Structure 1
Amino acid sequence: MSLSKFEPNDDILDFVIKKANGLKGLVDTNLEVIPSQCIQPKEQRLDKSQIDNQESIPTIDLSNFDDLSVEKSIQEAASKWGFFQIINHGIPIEVLDDLKEAGHKFFELPAEEKVKYSTESYSAGESVLMFWSAIGEKDEKVLEWRDTIRHGCNPQNDSNLWPSQTRNQVLEYQKWATPLAKKLLEVLLKGLDVNEIDESLEPLLMGTKAININYYPPCPNPSIAIGIRRHCDVSCITLLLQDDTGGLYVRRTKGDNWIHVNPIKGALAVNIGNSLQIMSNDRYKSIEHCVSVDSNRGRISVPLFLNPSPDSVIGPFPQMLKDGEKLVYKHVLYSDYWDHYFTKRPSGKASLDFAKI
């Protein structure tokens, strides 16, 4: 598929998404100015005057994972920050590097290869691989500056449907990352006086899993675009691998300041999602975050989402109410909450209102 220069009146959804050129293909047309469809409204841009360069999210060393002080550090970070980085987590550095490199290889493919994995919508329990750009819904007015490939990592998923460029690397990463994520969840639940993750709790906390590989192409006008708009994850927890270019920003729990998550070689960022905030009755915080783009380099990030199964009912654990604590959230079917989150595309914390009493 040959690329031509993208003109202002061209159908960007057709070029970027349906034909699977992606934002990467758009940049490869020697784009000098981003299309109007990619210019974010001011409230969605990252205001540099609101960036706090003096603070950073906690970094937690997991060398002694079972130490009580480490467990307490994880629980406190989840309560006060909703975001933290982990080092010495046990995943070999070569597994992480191979995964990032696989992402670059996939997004370098020509459009006629990537279009094989393209689809326009997906559901919470979707078992097939999907490729999309900028979460380009049909009624989306402004596109984010990224391309994404999603790997469903559940028993019903057929990894043979995945691209050869990413299949082995994602499977290897999943092998290491899933038990790590489960142990983190067990520590977090321990802080809520909930027993270990047994057969009844596993579908609720990690009933579905997905590994996305995000690619943020170089952007000619980074100050008016955004890689991912401010949002909170719908997950229980998310583990994020980012490359050494940075670009992830976290909003402070109080105030409007943003904090850059400085990349640490071999580290993973961990954040609480809306589902666990609901289950914890606000003990743990799901925090807004966004991703900036760069004018010189393409960037890779790889989130692993651990979500409830679609038929799970999410709501505060009974342990949250034993001391007369006020109930903040009702119990809702997770698939209903998922549909609300992605259909309405709520910004930031607004998506939690769906589950509030």
Structure 2
Amino acid sequence: MVDLDTFADKVLEMGEELDADHPGAKDAAYRARRSEITKIAKTYKTGQPIPHIEYTQIEIDTWSTVFNKLITMFPSHACREHQYVFPLLVQNCGYGPSTIPQLDGVSKFLKDCTGFTLRPVMGLLTSRDFLNGLAFRVFHSTQYIRHHSKPLYTPEPDVCHELLGHVPLFANPDFADFSQEIGLASLGASDDDIERLATIYWFTVEFGICRQDDNLRAYGAGLLSSFGELEYCLSGKPEMRPFEPSKVAQQKYPITEYQPVYFIAESFKDAQMRVREFANSMERPFSVRYNAYTESIEILDSKEKVLRYAQSIKSDMLTLVDALEKLA
């Protein structure tokens, strides 16, 4: 059995240097602020309240610009699950144009909705570490914000991307299950399979399109947090393909420009089953399951563990049959 603390101790920390082409690379004040926030994230331990960040007025103004731009597009471009949850975040988590929500309150909201929690992180993780976190229903989130000179552009995830793009969907049970499925598939996977799963994650959780009521809607956080690409992805210009994980996993993609190809999921449950089928085709030394009661991963590598798992499934099936008979 692997618990969250054991996993968290292995998370890779990123350095605090910015790429030369980052909008804030030559801004000493911005770099110092980034360093301050990432050091706060470094002190976090599982089970503690997520540290509160006192955002500056410049940071709030940047958030406000992004927030006000995106909310004009959500009604026509975002999937129904995102549209349903967003007002709840306004009501319960302080979402609005004049305040940057705190991760601690948002994490508690998600925990109540789907069992997902947020964990502050210094920056980008390896694909393996990031995907492994999803298996525990943990999403690693930044707390710093993009540079104020380009509020509608960021070369990396920031708090706008996390809170406006990712968080609303993690409050939806079907999407949460789908995301965790990718994480579970990553446990014990080879480096090559991790790369394939990361590509599937890219074209779904980050840049996914779904079909709803004969219309296409965005559900990927990279789209829902980018005014320009959110408009572009449903403009009819890019190529649309059906979501087939074995094909998606081989698709090359650009990082610094709009995607030329998007993949359409028929539903989050359908996407989850397709990812599970893909994971079953991978060569892994064991199977795993998530125990929601202990919030840990059980490695099914012995006959005794498999039999115990089968007994729990049998008990759940009896409960299901009884419920169905009472509804008949």
Q: Tell whether the structures are fold-level matches, with TM greater than 0.5.
A: no
More strand by proportion, 1 or 2?
A: 1
More helix by proportion, 1 or 2?
A: 2
